[in-house]
C-alpha cells in the first residue's frame, strides 16, 4: 500500500541529492519536475530503500484544475517513466558505501519504477527506480551531497532554473562556479538543434534562471568568458540572498560546532567528520588549522587545480601535510611587525604542489575533457601549465614537488 503523505509538505523541508546526480544529464518538463521534487521531500534520512508515495494533484498542478489538467498529468506519468539519467557510476567501498571515482564511467539509468495517475484519489502514485538509491538515500554516509530547502525550490518555474539552482548550490561555499558552454549544454540535456545561437541560450535559459533565482537563497550574476570571438565559458558569481526571499538551508549539523557545519556543507562525510573530531580531541591540531586548510584548498579549487575540494580538505586534515606550513604561519604572527613582514614576504613567495597530486588531476579530468583543449601527455601538460610559468621540480623528504620561487 502507498504510504500516506501530507497534502502539501512543510515549507521548511530540506531535501538532498548526491553531487553525481546533480551533475548528471537529464531533462524534465515542469510537471515532471514537480513530481520529482515532491518525491524528494518524502525521503527521510533513515530510509534504506524507496517507498511508493501518493502525491496529490495540488502539488503537481498549481495553476488550474479540470479535465485538461488531469489529462496532462496522465501523459506526464507516461513520459516520466521513460526518462533516463546519464549518470556517473559510483564505486563500492570496503565500508559498504559508494563513492565517486577518479576516472568515472557513465551509464543510463531509468529514473522511475512507477508513476500512475489514480483518478479516484486525485493524484499520482509513484516511486523511484531502486538503481538510483545510492544517489538519494543514506547520503550522510557517502558525504558527497548537497542540501536545498523546499521553500526555495518551489519558487522556480523553469526546469532549467531548477537545474542551474542545484549546480550552483553545490558550489555555494565557494561563491562561484565556471561551466563551459559544452558542459552546460550537456548538463541541461540540450540537443544539437536547440538554441544553436548563444544569444538565444542566454536569453531563454541564463537570463530566465537569473530572474527566477533572484528571489531565492541563490541569486547570481554571471560573466561570459571567450576564446577569440566565441563564448566558451560562463562564470557564475553568487550574490547575497535577497532580503525577502531567502531562508538559510537547514542542516542536520545545525547544532554542531562551526567547523563541523563548514566541512559538512563542503561535502565531507559524517564518518570523516568523526575522524577529524577525534584528531581535534587528541590535540593533533587546533580548530584554526581546519580553517587554514579550507582557505588553502578553496584557493586551489578556484584556480582549477583541485576538482573535489571535500576529498582534498579531508586528506589535508588526516595526513596533516599542511600542518607545518600552518604552524610556521602561526608563529610568524607572533613575531615583531618588522620580522613578521619579512617572514610573510618570504612565505608568500614560494608556491608548492605535490607532483603526484598534479598527476592525479591530469589523470582525472572529468567527463567533459574531450570537449576542451588538453595536452596529449602529462609531460606536455606539466610544461605548458607549470614549468614554463617558472615552476621547478624539487625533491623534499623523499617526494617530488613543483616549486615556484620568486
Q: What are the residue ranges spanned by the domains of the chain?
A: 1-154, 157-243, 254-337, 350-406
pLDDT in tens, the chain (406 residues): 444 444 445 556 889 999 999 999 999 988 999 999 999 999 998 899 999 999 999 898 876 555 678 889 999 999 999 999 999 998 877 766 677 887 889 999 999 999 999 989 989 999 999 999 999 998 877 678 899 999 999 999 999 999 999 999 998 888 889 999 999 999 999 987 888 888 899 999 999 999 999 999 999 999 999 888 888 999 999 876 655 443 444 445 545 677 787 787 677 777 888 888 888 888 899 988 998 888 888 777 766 677 678 888 888 898 888 888 888 877 765 655 554 444 444 444 456 677 776 776 666 554 434 434 556 777 777 777 778 777 788 877 677 777 777 5
Q: Does pTM top 0.85 for this prediction? A: no
Which CA distances in Å does 385 have to 201, 218, 382?
A: 32, 33, 6
Question: Where do runs of H (alpha helix) occur along 81-206?
Answer: 139-142, 150-153, 159-169, 181-187, 198-201
Dihedral sign, Cα of residue 391, residue 394, residue 397, residue 398: positive
Cβ proximity of 317 and 290 under 8 Å: yes
User: Which run of H or E residues covers position 177?
Assistant: strand 176-180
Fold of 157-243: Arc Repressor Mutant, subunit A (1.10.10)
Cell 550574476 -> residue: 221
Fold of 1-154: Arc Repressor Mutant, subunit A (1.10.10)
157-243 and 1-154 share a CATH fold? yes
Amino acid at each position: 500500500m502507498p504510504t500516506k503523505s501530507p497534502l502539501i509538505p512543510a515549507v521548511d523541508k530540506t531535501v538532498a541529492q548526491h553531487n553525481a546526480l546533480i551533475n548528471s544529464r537529464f531533462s524534465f518538463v515542469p510537471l515532471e519536475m514537480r513530481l520529482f521534487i515532491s518525491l524528494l521531500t518524502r525521503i527521510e534520512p533513515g530510509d534504506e530503500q524507496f517507498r511508493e508515495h501518493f502525491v496529490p494533484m495540488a502539488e503537481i498542478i498549481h495553476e488550474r484544475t479540470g479535465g485538461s489538467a488531469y489529462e496532462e498529468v496522465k501523459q506526464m506519468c507516461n513520459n516520466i517513466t521513460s526518462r533516463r539519467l546519464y549518470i556517473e557510476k559510483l564505486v563500492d567501498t570496503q565500508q559498504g558505501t559508494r563513492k565517486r571515482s577518479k576516472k568515472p564511467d557513465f551509464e543510463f539509468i531509468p529514473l522511475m519504477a512507477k508513476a500512475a495517475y489514480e483518478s479516484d484519489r486525485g493524484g499520482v502514485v509513484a516511486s523511484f527506480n531502486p538503481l538510483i538509491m545510492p544517489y538519494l538515500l543514506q547520503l550522510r554516509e557517502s558525504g558527497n551531497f548537497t542540501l536545498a530547502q523546499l521553500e526555495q525550490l518551489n519558487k522556480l518555474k523553469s526546469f532549467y532554473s531548477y537545474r542551474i539552482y542545484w549546480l550552483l548550490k553545490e558550489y555555494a561555499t565557494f561563491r562561484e562556479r565556471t561551466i563551459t558552454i559544452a558542459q552546460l549544454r550537456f548538463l541541461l540535456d540540450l540537443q544539437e538543434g536547440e538554441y544553436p545561437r548563444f544569444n538565444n541560450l542566454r536569453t531563454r535559459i541564463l537570463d530566465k534562471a537569473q530572474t527566477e533565482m533572484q528571489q531565492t537563497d541563490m541569486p547570481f550574476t554571471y560573466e561570459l568568458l571567450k576564446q577569440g570571438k566565441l563564448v566558451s565559458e560562463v562564470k557564475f558569481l553568487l550574490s547575497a540572498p535577497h532580503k525577502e526571499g531567502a531562508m538559510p538551508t537547514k542542516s542536520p549539523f545545525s547544532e554542531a560546532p562551526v567547523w563541523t557545519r563548514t566541512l559538512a556543507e563542503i561535502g565531507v562525510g559524517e564518518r570523516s567528520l568523526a575522524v577529524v573530531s577525534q584528531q581535534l580531541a587528541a590535540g593533533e591540531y587546533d580548530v584554526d588549522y581546519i580553517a587554514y586548510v579550507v582557505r588553502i584548498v578553496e584557493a586551489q579549487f578556484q584556480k582549477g587545480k583541485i576538482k573535489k575540494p571535500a576529498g582534498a580538505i579531508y586528506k589535508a586534515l588526516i595526513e596533516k601535510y599542511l600542518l607545518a606550513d600552518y604552524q610556521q604561519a602561526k608563529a610568524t604572527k607572533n613575531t615583531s611587525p618588522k620580522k613578521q613582514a619579512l617572514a610573510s614576504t618570504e612565505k608568500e613567495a614560494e608556491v608548492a604542489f605535490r607532483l603526484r597530486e598534479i598527476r592525479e588531476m591530469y589523470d582525472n579530468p572529468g567527463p567533459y575533457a574531450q570537449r576542451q583543449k588538453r595536452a596529449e601527455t602529462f609531460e606536455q601538460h606539466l610544461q605548458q601549465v607549470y614549468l614554463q610559468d617558472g615552476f621547478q621540480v624539487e625533491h623534499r623528504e623523499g617526494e617530488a614537488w613543483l616549486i615556484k620561487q620568486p
